[in-house]
Amino acid sequence: MSSKEKNSVTILTESQLSSRAFKDEAYEFYKELRKSQPLYPLSLGALGKGWLISRYDDAIHLLKNEKLMKNYENVFTAKEKRPALLKNEESLTKHMLNSDPPDHNRLRTLVQKAFTHRMILQLEDKIQHIADSLLDKVQPNKFMNLVDDYAFPLPIIVISEMLGIPLEDRQKFRVWSQAIIDFSDAPERLQENDHLLGEFVEYLESLVRKKRREPAGDLISALIQAESEGTQLSTEELYSMIMLLIVAGHETTVNLITNMTYALMCHGDQLEKLRQQPDLMNSAIEEALRFHSPVELTTIRWTAEPFILHGQEIKRKDVIIISLASANRDEKIFPNADIFDIERKNNRHIAFGHGNHFCLGAQLARLEAKIAISTLLRRCPNIQLKGEKEQMKWKGNFLMRALEELPLSF
């Protein structure tokens, strides 16, 4: 995005927000928005008109605003409802991330027992074993692509075991996850994504049939039991919930592990400080979440009632998208916001969201990152980027801040 574009109000499109070029310059662009355009116009194709939120205080307010809905059925009348963009959309969107109270509370209650502090701590030894096993495979080579060899397999193995799904299917989940978080409305991309989502639905149908025949002590079996009781979970909600747990159960953590490692590699003084003071690990994780937020933009919220923000009327049916990445670099909240400081105090970042939709798996993601990064630094003391940091490429993706790869030598 050129300086001329930055200084004029050019309506952004979904494809621009999803581009690699935008990711490369996003932080500077957000800085300009926070100064002069904290409410920035978006054109979101079939979704209509939208607004991008860049300031922290606005983000906190809107993430709890009862005038904003996640389920568009709570905003649009039957005549106004948009046609489904994807043939398989209905089977994969009836989950808690797309719901509002009281449905959201009902759906969240069904799975939150698996993510309590006690349950997460019980996974510590398992996660440590996975981290060591993954490093055992690559350490003799003295090289790895952190994304493929470590950051992706670790959380997908964990969530697969929690859910009770075969580990051999994890590469399929990677492809399907990308289709789900890809917001492109380009016709050819829509067709490709719809095909992939159709494969995912068929997989879930087969998996649920098997779990009905052979229930076990896993989370999917527990959800099927709730669905069979008829009042707690519909069939569409069952498929959607499994999908959400698979995707959300690893995507954020992949980016957290990768982005934190990248930040440490780019800030040698902070890496050395962490080596010398390993008790700073928790603080370093919070700073990594703030500095390169794994989820860059929130999923959409629909305006149910009009309201005024920064002198602008937000109309009913307008879409609100909040940049968590921008809010977490807001200079009014975070002194020296563009500095990566693992000793940062009062780090009130919102990388996991805020309000009702605060990430259910935040504690699990933090534990996975703590074990993954600690083990990596302990076992690979000479680790460094293989190549220049300028060569590292951010993925073109609407929701996530994710590196395509992170080559490391040690």
Domain ranges of the chain: 3-409
pLDDT at position 376: 98
**Nearest-10 Cα torsion for 230, 236, 241, 246:** 140
Q: What is the DSSP letter of 149?
A: I
Tokens 């502090």 sit on residue: 117
The verdict on whether omega for the bond into residue 102 sits within 30 degrees of 0, i.e. cis, is yes
Residues 6+ apart with CB under 8 A from 147: 254, 258, 403, 404, 405, 406
pLDDT (tens place) for every residue of the chain, 410 residues total: 444 444 456 899 988 999 999 999 999 999 999 999 999 999 988 888 999 999 999 999 999 999 999 998 999 988 887 656 566 666 778 899 999 999 999 999 989 888 999 999 999 999 999 999 999 999 999 999 999 999 999 999 999 999 999 888 888 888 888 888 876 666 677 788 888 888 998 999 999 999 999 999 999 998 988 776 666 788 888 889 999 998 888 999 999 999 999 999 999 999 999 999 999 999 999 999 999 999 999 999 999 999 999 999 999 999 999 999 999 999 999 999 999 999 999 999 999 999 999 999 999 999 999 999 999 999 999 999 998 888 899 999 899 999 999 999 99
Residue 114 tokens read as: 């698996």
The CA distance from 71 to 94, in Å, is: 9
The CA distance from 323 to 182, in Å, is: 17
End-to-end CA distance of the chain: 36
pLDDT at position 5: 43
The CA distance from 367 to 361, in Å, is: 10
Residue 136 tokens read as: 């055992």
Q: What is the DSSP letter of 140?
A: G
Q: Which of 312, 317, 374 lies closest to 58, judged by CA? A: 312
pLDDT at position 170: 81
Q: Are strands 12-13 and 39-43 parallel, antiparallel or unpaired?
A: parallel
Strand partners, 323: 297
Which pTM does this prediction carry? 0.93
Phi, psi angle pair for 365, to nearest 5°: -60, -45
Residue 316 tokens read as: 């009913």
Q: Are 243 and 92 in contact (CB under 8 A)?
A: yes
Q: Are 253 and 246 in contact (CB under 8 A)?
A: no
What Å distances lie between residue 82 and 45, 48, 99, CA to CA? 12, 10, 17
What Å distances lie between residue 160 and 76, 220, 243, CA to CA? 36, 10, 12
Residues 6+ apart with CB under 8 A from 187: none
What Å distances lie between residue 12 and 9, 22, 52, CA to CA? 9, 10, 9
Q: Does domain 3-409 have CATH number 1.10.10.10?
A: no
